[in-house]
Structure 1
Amino acid sequence: MYEVEFLLKNSYPFCAVSEKFPDVTFYRWCNSSIDYLEFYGQNSDIEKILNLIPEIENILHTTAIYKLRNGPQLTVMLACRCSIENSTIRMAESSNCLWQAPVEYKKGREYLHVISIRDEYLSSLYENLVKIGDAEILKKSTFSPNSLRDTYTISISSLFENMTAKQITYFTDALYSGYYSIPKRVTIQELAGRYHLSESTMEEHLNKAKTKILHSLKPYISLFRKQQETNNK
């Protein structure tokens, strides 16, 4: 199986909204019945987007069934009218690919993550995407999971695929031994001694492992932070 992250620019409705408001980041979930959107940005931009909803309704031939403005956050639910003529996620589905929610839009670009069981399905999707605009593959990886349950939450492969076997081993040992507890239950000297390493080498392995995990979590941390900032206003 393949996991691919696309960076897209096109004239489809949601990407067009992002281009019009480049400083606003928004996320999209869709279950083929409801399009659920969360917008985050400056109050002035959010107000303009709120006023733009009737135009979006007209373009998509849909109806907004729920809207909630909370300062710099706007939540909108639309009756889904997605098709391959106006939605990249429907395009992905038509190419036998699974798309991962949420789809992210910022600075006029769309970040679309998909799962495919065959390379030819990805090729078909890519060919369709370039017909409507720019399409760049940011990342492509291969995996063989027993199930796909993790692809709809936080993908295990995306969290750990860049870590070496040694980094995983040392980081796991440090975590379960209490190196990251407060107070620490094990020292860097003790961890290094277990593997006959110098303290500086062990510390380097742990720092690299921690950095890679944090970078993988960055989109989820960013989304949670935006939600917390809005809730605290």
Structure 2
Amino acid sequence: MTLFEVVLKLTHDSPFVDLTRKFPSVKIFSWCNSQNDIVEIIVENPDDYPLVMKQIPKVEWVIEESSDRTRIHLIVHKCSCTAQNSVDVLIEDLNLLHVFPEVMEKGWEFQRIIAFRHDDLEELLRRMEEAGWVFEILRKVPFDGFIASSLMLTPDALFSDLTQKQVNAVLTAHRHGYYMRPRKADVQTIAAKKQVSRTTFQEHLKKAENKLVTALIPYMQLYNHTPAERRERLKMK
């Protein structure tokens, strides 16, 4: 049985696709765990940022939001897999493997799929055409076992060694702009706002950073030894 890796470019009406259509400087990445969508919105044009932020309340089911003036992170309670106007529904209904993240840019949605049977792929394309969606196959190649998911990080691999206080320290530092360049806040300022001592907050933060880097090293080593032609295949387009 020959497996195929397929990258699709399509457009249809959805809140996030429409957002990238309205603001060409916006690029959106979305991951789903069948319960929630994790959405990262990157705004390349600083002038668009306040305008994009005004659009966020229009997105339904947002249960958590954070931003740092260039990126907006959302957790959406109702994932796109349940939306009737979503290609996710069609993919889940067929014998196809959906590889995240989905990418949305300039009014287009990019999907990566592993097809186990050619008939299932043909059925997906037929249903998309029947739904009136505009789409294009950007890539269809035999699957050699090496795709973006080969380098995907699982939460267990990356975060399981962190304590809750260490997780909170990283999220708090990020929320206050500690990781921006130039930094928007230092450890002392953040600790004061959280009403904890600087040394305590810094200890949690540094321990978390050390653990995260240690967990990332195997993936960086894997990527570093990946041939250039295969690195190109990690890109959506």
TM-score (normalised: structure 1): 0.60
- Provide the alpha-carbon RMSD of the alignment: 2.6
Matched with 2:150 is 153
Matched with 1:118 is 117
Matched with 1:78 is 76
* Distance across 1 between alignment mates of 2:29 and 2:133: 20
Matched with 1:133 is 133
1:73-126 deviation per Cα after TM superposition (whole angstroms, max 9, x unaligned): 110110024335232222211122111111111111111001121111111111
Taking a change above 3 Å as real, the CA distance of residues 24 and 126 of structure 1, as seen in their structure-2 partners, is same
Q: The residue matched to 2:34 in structure 1 has which SS?
A: coil
Stretches of structure 2 that go unaligned for 5 or more consecutive residues are 153-225
Q: How does 1:45-84 map to 2 (within 5 A)?
A: 45-57=48-60, 63-82=61-80, 83-84=82-83
Match among 10, 15, 33 for residue 8 of structure 1:
10
Contact 1:39 1:46 in 2 (8 A): no
Contact 2:16 2:28 in 1 (8 A): no
1:15-44 deviation per Cα after TM superposition (whole angstroms, max 9, x unaligned): 222212221111000111111110111233
Contact 2:32 2:79 in 1 (8 A): no
* Distance across 1 between alignment mates of 2:40 and 2:100: 12
Contact 2:99 2:149 in 1 (8 A): yes
Q: How does 1:82-231 map to 2 (within 5 A)?
A: 82=80, 83-130=82-129, 131-143=131-143, 145=145, 152-154=149-151, 212-217=229-234
1:39-90 deviation per Cα after TM superposition (whole angstroms, max 9, x unaligned): 1112332322222122221xxxxx2111001011110110024335232222
Contact 1:7 1:137 in 2 (8 A): yes
1:153-193 deviation per Cα after TM superposition (whole angstroms, max 9, x unaligned): 349xxxxxxxxxxxxxxxxxxxxxxxxxxxxxxxxxxxxxx
Amino acid at match of 1:140: K
Q: How much does 1:5 deviate?
A: 0.3
Q: Greater CA radius of gyration, 1 or 2? A: 1
Identity across matched positions, percent: 25
Contact 2:31 2:37 in 1 (8 A): yes
Q: The residue matched to 2:91 in structure 1 has which SS?
A: helix
TM-score (normalised: structure 2): 0.59
Taking a change above 3 Å as real, the CA distance of residues 213 and 123 of structure 1, as seen in their structure-2 partners, is closer
Amino acid at match of 1:12: S
Q: The residue matched to 2:139 in structure 1 has which SS?
A: strand
Contact 2:114 2:143 in 1 (8 A): no
Amino acid at match of 2:150: T
Q: The residue matched to 2:233 in structure 1 has which SS?
A: helix
Amino acid at match of 1:117: F
Q: The residue matched to 1:153 in structure 2 has which SS?
A: helix
* Distance across 2 between alignment mates of 1:120 and 1:213: 27
Q: The residue matched to 1:32 in structure 2 has which SS?
A: coil
Q: The residue matched to 1:28 in structure 2 has which SS?
A: strand
Larger mean CA deviation between 88-97 and 107-116 belongs to: 88-97
Stretches of structure 1 that go unaligned for 5 or more consecutive residues are 58-62, 156-208, 220-233
* Distance across 2 between alignment mates of 1:11 and 1:132: 11
Matched, 1:40 2:33: no
